[in-house]
C-alpha cells in the first residue's frame, strides 16, 4: 500500500475516535486558554471530586445471623475481644434493628431505604413479578458506594453480596447489581447467600478466583487479608483519600465452618445447654446495663425441646454444634481485629467510623435437631447427625446448629430470623469513631434501623441526600441519622415509624408501640404454605415492655386498630403487597418459559464455567441426555466433562483412571457411581450419559461410549435441591467437588473437550 493511501486509511479509522475525543473535551468544559503556543495559553485541569475536609474513613462489618445475645459485649457467651475493645471505646446501640433476612437488610443498609421500596422485599433467590419483590435494586435508590465514590472516596466491598438476581451471577454479568454497578470500585467475595468456607466460589471484581493453595485456608481469613492488603496499598498511594470499606462476612451464617483449633477452645463450654445459657446471657446483659434490671425472659417456645428432654447423646451433639458456631464467630472477631490493627498501624483508626451490625437475629433454620448439611433444612435425625460428630464444623460437613441455640442467642427476645418480633430483627450494633465520639463505652437506647446508617454517614459528611444521581431522580431516604445520639444518651428517638415483613411475618413499630403477626412460627419450614387469612395481630407497648411479653391486643383494641391502619398506609407506600407472593411458582414458571424457548437444548463449550443454577441445564429436575465430543491423545486424560454442584450434593460426568464415570452425590449422604470397565479409546470419541426418570426421585442412568453402553444402573433420591452456592461447570469442578478427582478440581486438559450437548426432556413435550 502506498504511503498516501495508508495515511488516508489511518485517518479514516481514527477519525471517529478523534471526533469523539473532541466531543468529550468540549463536554469537560475546558476553562483555560488555548493559544498557538504555550506562552499565550493557560492550562486548565478537570476537577476531581473532593471529599469534605477531614472526612472520616468508613468501615462497616455486616455480620451474618448474629443474635442480640451472642457477642460478648451484648451478654453473649462467645469470646469476641476485638469487638469488646471497640465497644469499650465506642458506643453500643441496644435498640437497633435490621430486617428479618439477609438480602433485604443489605439492600436497606446500603441504600438508606426500606427493602420493599427498592425491590428487595424477599431473598434475591426468590424474586416475584411485583415492584417490592423484583430483586433488582431501583436505580432511583443509589447507595452508599455510589454516593461516597462521587464524593471522592475509594470504595471496596468484600465478602457476601447476595442482593442481586441469581441469573446475573456469571462471568458475563450483567453487572448492574454487582458491587461495581453499585458504586464499589473493587470487590472480593462471593455472590450467594452462603458459601463453603474451605472451598468458596470467590470473585475478584468480575473474575472467578480459584481457592488459594494455602494450608488451612478459611474464607474469613482470606477476606481479612484482602482487606488489609487494600488498606495498606490505599494508605501508601493515596493517604489523603478517605475510603469506604464494606466487609460482609459469611460468618456466622451456616455452614458453621471454623478452624479446628478454634473449635477445640470451646469444648465443653456449652454443656449446660440452651435453657441455662439463656439465663446466663440475661444475667450478663443486666450487669452490662443493656436491659432493665428487672427484665424477665419470655416463655420458652412450645415447639422447641427443652435441654433436659434431650438424651445424653443428643445433648453431646447439640453442644458440639454450638461449639462450631462459637468458634466461627470467635475466629471472625480475630480476623476483624487484624483489620483494626492495620488501621491503627497506618494511623487511620482515630478518624475511621467503624460500624458493626448483624443482618438479622439468630437463625433457627437448622431445625430442631440441627443439621450436618444445611441443605437438608433441618429434616435430619439426631442419629444421622451423630455420624458426623467428629468432623462437625470442618471440611465434609455443611452444618447448622439446632433451633434451641437460636432461641438462646436472641436472649432476651422471642422468635428468630424471619420474624417481625424482636428476636428476628433486634441485633447487636456498635459504633467506634474516636474523632467523633466522646462518650467511650456508652450505651444508646434510641430505636434505630439499618436504613439509618447511610443517612448517618451523609450527616457526618455534611451532605444532603442527592435529588438526582446520574440523571435519575432519587426516591426519598427512609432512614434517619442517629448522630444526635452520639453526644446525648437521653435524646428522644427521632425515628417515627418502621415496618417489618418477611414471608408473611409482618409488623410495625411506631412511637414506642409494636404490632406483630407471626404466620411462620417455624423458620425451618420455610416452604410451608401459609395464608394471610390466618393472621392474628398482637400488640405490645415496647417502651414499657421491651421484649414483647405482655400482649395488649385484647385490652387495647383501639390502639391495635390504629397500628393496623398505619401498617396499611406504610404497606401501600413501600410496595409490601401482595404479602407472600408465590415466588417458587413464579421462578419455576420463568425457568420453564426459558427452557421451552430454547427447546430444552444446551450447547456448551470448554470455558463454560461458574454458570449459576438459574442459567444451568436443570439436570437435577428432568430426564435428560448429554453427549460430549472428546479428542483424546493416545492415552485418555482424566478430568471433569461437566459438574453441577459440589460435595453437599450434585452430579458429575468425568474421566478417572481413563475410565468414564457418572457420579450422583445425594446431599452429601451417599454417592452413586456408574463407571465403565474399560478406558476410553484414544483419538476422537463420543461420551454419552442419559437419565430416564422413573419417578419423582428415581431414574435409570445409562453411560455409553461411541454408542456402546458401558454402564447402567438405578439412581435413587435424585432430583430436587442442589447447593446454589456451587455452580455448573464444563471441564472443571469449581469450589468443592461432587466426588474426589485425580486432578485438582478435576480440571480437564485443554483441547480434550470439543463440545457438550445436553437435551432436557421437557414435560408435555
pLDDT in tens, 343-387: 999 999 999 999 999 999 999 999 999 999 998 877 899 999 999
Residues 192 and 70 grouped into a single domain: yes
For the sheet with 154-160, list strands across it: 207-209, 202-204, 186-190, 154-160, 243-248, 57-63, 352-358, 429-432, 91-93, 442-444
Asked whether residue 589 is assigned to any structural domain, the reply reads: no
Give the whole-angstrom CA distance, residue 372 versus residue 382.
Answer: 10
Asked whether residue 47 is assigned to any structural domain, the reply reads: no
Q: What is the CATH number of the domain that holds 367?
A: 3.40.720.10
Pick the residue with more confidence: 185 or 5?
185
Residues 564 and 623 grouped into a single domain: no
C-alpha cell at 693: 426418570
Residues 493 and 513 grouped into a single domain: no
Q: What is the CATH number of the domain that holds 654?
A: 2.60.120.200
Residues 341 and 480 grouped into a single domain: yes
Asked whether residue 172 is assigned to any structural domain, the reply reads: yes
DSSP state letters, 252-304: TSSS----HHHHHHTTTTTTT-HHHHHHHHHHHHHHHTSS-TT--PPPPPTTS
Domain boundary (498, 531, 556) is at 498
Per-residue model confidence (pLDDT) at position 28:
59
Per-residue model confidence (pLDDT) at position 377:
79
Per-residue model confidence (pLDDT) at position 173:
95
Residues 452 and 539 grouped into a single domain: no
Give just the sign of the alpha carbon dihedral 367, 373, 374, 379: negative
Domain boundary (498, 522, 554) is at 498
Per-residue model confidence (pLDDT) at position 529:
84
Domain that holds residue 543: 509-581
Per-residue model confidence (pLDDT) at position 528:
84
Q: Are 574 and 726 in contact (CB under 8 A)?
A: no
The two beta strands, 352-358 and 429-432, are: antiparallel
Q: What is the mean pLDDT of the chain?
A: 94
Per-residue model confidence (pLDDT) at position 554:
98
Q: How many CA atoms lie within 13 A of 366 on its CB side?
A: 29
Residues 426 and 527 grouped into a single domain: no
Residues 514 and 481 grouped into a single domain: no
Per-residue model confidence (pLDDT) at position 2:
53
Per-residue model confidence (pLDDT) at position 25:
41
Asked whether residue 39 is assigned to any structural domain, the reply reads: no
H or E stretch covering 237? helix 219-237
Q: How many CA atoms lie within 13 A of 228 on its CB side?
A: 16
Query: What does the pLDDT average to over 103-113?
Result: 98
Asked whether residue 72 is assigned to any structural domain, the reply reads: yes
Residues 78 and 167 grouped into a single domain: yes
3-state helix, strand, coil in the chain (%, to 5): 30, 20, 50
Cβ count near 207 (within 10 Å): 9
Indicate whether 483 pLDDT > 50. Answer: yes
Indicate whether 27 pLDDT > 80. Answer: no
Indicate whether 618 pLDDT > 60. Answer: yes
Cβ count near 455 (within 10 Å): 20
Residues 530 and 606 grouped into a single domain: no
Instruction: Specify the number of domains making up the chain.
Output: 3
Asked whether residue 239 is assigned to any structural domain, the reply reads: yes
Give the whole-angstrom CA distance, residue 50 versus residue 353.
Answer: 19
Please give the share of the chain, as a percent, with pLDDT higher than 90.
Answer: 88
Domain boundary (460, 475, 498) is at 498
Residues 647 and 609 grouped into a single domain: yes
Asked whether residue 693 is assigned to any structural domain, the reply reads: yes
Residues 568 and 642 grouped into a single domain: no
Asked whether residue 519 is assigned to any structural domain, the reply reads: yes
Give the whole-angstrom CA distance, residue 607 versus residue 470.
Answer: 35
Residues 476 and 519 grouped into a single domain: no
Q: What is the DSSP letter of 748?
A: P
Amino acid at each position: 500500500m502506498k504511503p498516501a493511501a495508508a495515511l488516508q486509511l489511518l485517518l479514516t479509522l481514527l477519525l471517529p475516535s478523534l471526533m469523539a475525543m473532541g466531543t468529550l473535551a468540549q463536554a469537560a468544559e475546558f476553562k483555560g486558554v488555548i493559544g498557538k503556543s504555550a506562552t499565550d495559553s493557560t492550562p486548565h485541569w478537570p476537577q476531581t471530586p473532593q471529599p469534605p475536609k477531614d472526612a472520616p474513613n468508613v468501615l462497616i462489618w455486616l455480620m451474618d445471623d448474629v443474635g442480640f445475645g451472642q457477642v460478648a459485649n451484648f451478654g453473649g457467651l462467645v469470646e469476641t475481644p476485638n469487638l469488646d475493645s471497640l465497644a469499650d471505646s465506642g458506643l453500643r446501640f441496644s435498640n437497633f434493628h435490621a430486617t428479618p433476612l439477609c438480602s433485604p437488610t443489605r439492600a436497606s443498609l446500603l441504600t438508606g431505604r426500606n427493602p420493599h421500596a427498592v425491590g428487595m422485599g424477599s431473598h434475591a433467590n426468590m424474586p416475584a413479578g411485583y415492584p417490592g419483590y423484583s430483586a433488582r435494586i431501583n436505580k432511583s435508590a443509589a447507595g452508599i458506594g455510589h454516593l461516597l465514590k462521587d464524593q471522592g472516596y475509594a470504595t471496596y466491598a468484600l465478602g457476601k453480596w447476595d442482593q442481586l438476581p441469581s441469573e446475573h451471577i456469571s462471568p458475563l454479568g450483567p453487572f448492574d447489581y454487582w458491587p461495581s454497578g453499585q458504586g464499589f470500585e473493587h470487590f472480593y467475595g462471593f455472590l450467594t447467600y452462603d458459601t463453603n468456607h474451605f472451598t468458596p466460589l470467590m470473585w475478584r471484581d468480575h473474575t472467578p478466583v480459584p481457592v488459594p493453595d494455602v494450608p488451612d485456608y478459611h474464607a474469613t481469613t482470606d477476606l481479612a487479608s484482602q482487606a488489609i492488603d487494600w488498606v495498606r496499598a490505599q494508605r501508601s498511594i493515596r493517604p489523603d483519600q478517605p475510603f469506604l470499606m464494606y466487609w460482609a462476612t459469611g460468618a456466622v451464617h451456616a455452614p458453621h465452618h471454623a478452624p479446628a483449633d478454634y473449635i477445640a477452645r470451646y469444648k465443653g463450654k456449652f454443656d449446660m445447654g440452651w435453657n441455662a445459657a439463656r439465663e446466663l446471657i440475661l444475667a450478663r446483659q443486666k450487669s452490662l446495663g443493656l436491659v432493665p434490671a428487672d427484665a424477665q425472659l419470655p416463655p420458652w417456645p412450645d415447639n422447641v425441646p427443652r435441654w433436659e428432654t434431650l438424651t445424653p447423646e443428643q445433648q453431646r451433639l447439640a453442644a458440639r454444634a454450638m461449639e462450631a458456631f462459637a468458634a466461627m464467630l470467635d475466629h471472625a472477631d480475630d480476623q476483624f481485629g487484624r483489620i483494626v490493627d492495620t488501621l491503627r498501624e497506618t494511623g487511620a483508626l482515630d478518624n475511621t467510623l467503624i460500624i458493626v451490625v448483624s443482618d438479622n437475629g439468630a437463625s433457627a433454620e437448622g431445625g430442631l435437631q440441627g443439621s450436618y448439611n444445611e441443605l437438608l433444612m433441618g429434616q435430619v435425625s439426631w442419629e444421622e447427625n451423630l455420624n458426623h460428630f467428629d468432623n462437625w464444623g470442618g471440611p465434609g460437613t455443611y452444618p447448622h446448629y439446632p433451633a434451641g441455640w437460636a432461641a438462646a442467642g436472641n436472649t432476651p427476645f422471642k422468635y428468630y430470623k424471619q420474624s417481625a418480633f424482636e428476636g428476628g430483627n433486634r441485633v447487636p450494633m456498635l459504633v467506634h469513631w474516636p474523632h467523633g465520639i466522646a462518650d467511650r463505652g456508652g450505651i444508646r437506647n434510641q430505636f434505630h434501623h439499618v436504613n439509618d446508617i447511610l443517612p448517618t454517614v451523609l450527616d457526618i459528611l455534611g451532605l444532603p441526600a442527592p435529588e438526582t444521581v446520574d440523571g435519575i431522580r432519587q426516591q426519598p431516604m427512609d432512614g434517619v441519622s442517629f448522630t444526635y445520639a452520639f453526644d446525648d444518651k437521653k435524646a428522644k428517638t427521632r425515628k417515627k415509624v418502621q415496618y417489618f415483613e418477611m414471608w408473611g411475618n409482618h409488623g410495625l413499630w411506631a412511637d414506642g408501640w409494636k404490632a406483630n403477626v407471626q404466620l411462620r412460627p417455624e423458620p425451618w419450614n420455610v416452604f410451608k404454605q401459609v395464608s394471610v387469612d390466618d393472621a392474628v395481630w398482637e400488640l405490645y407497648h415496647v417502651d414499657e415492655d421491651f421484649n414483647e411479653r405482655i400482649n395488649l391486643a385484647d385490652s387495647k383494641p383501639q390502639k391495635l386498630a390504629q397500628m393496623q391502619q398505619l401498617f396499611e398506609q406504610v404497606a401501600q407506600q413501600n410496595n409490601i403487597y401482595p404479602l407472600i407472593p408465590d415466588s417458587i411458582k413464579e421462578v419455576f414458571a420463568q425457568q420453564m418459559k426459558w427452557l421451552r424457548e430454547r427447546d430444552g437444548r444446551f450447547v456448551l463449550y470448554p470455558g463454560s464455567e461458574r454458570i449459576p443454577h438459574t442459567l444451568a441445564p436443570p439436570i437435577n429436575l428432568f430426564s435428560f441426555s448429554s453427549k460430549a465430543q472428546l479428542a483424546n491423545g493416545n492415552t485418555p486424560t482424566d478430568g471433569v466433562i461437566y459438574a453441577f454442584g459440589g460435595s453437599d450434593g450434585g452430579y458429575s460426568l468425568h474421566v478417572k483412571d481413563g475410565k468414564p464415570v457418572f457420579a450422583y452425590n445425594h446431599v452429601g449422604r451417599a454417592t452413586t457411581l456408574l463407571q465403565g470397565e474399560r478406558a476410553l479409546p484414544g483419538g476422537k470419541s463420543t461420551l454419552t450419559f442419559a437419565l430416564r426418570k422413573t419417578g419423582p426421585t428415581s431414574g435409570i442412568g445409562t453411560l455409553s461410549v461411541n454408542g456402546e453402553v458401558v454402564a447402567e444402573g438405578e439412581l435413587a433420591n435424585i432430583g430436587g435441591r442442589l447447593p446454589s452456592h456451587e455452580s455448573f461447570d464444563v471441564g472443571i469442578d469449581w469450589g468443592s467437588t461432587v466426588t474426589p478427582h485425580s486432578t485438582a478440581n478435576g480440571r480437564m486438559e485443554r483441547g480434550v473437550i470439543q463440545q457438550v450437548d445436553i437435551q432436557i426432556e421437557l414435560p408435555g413435550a
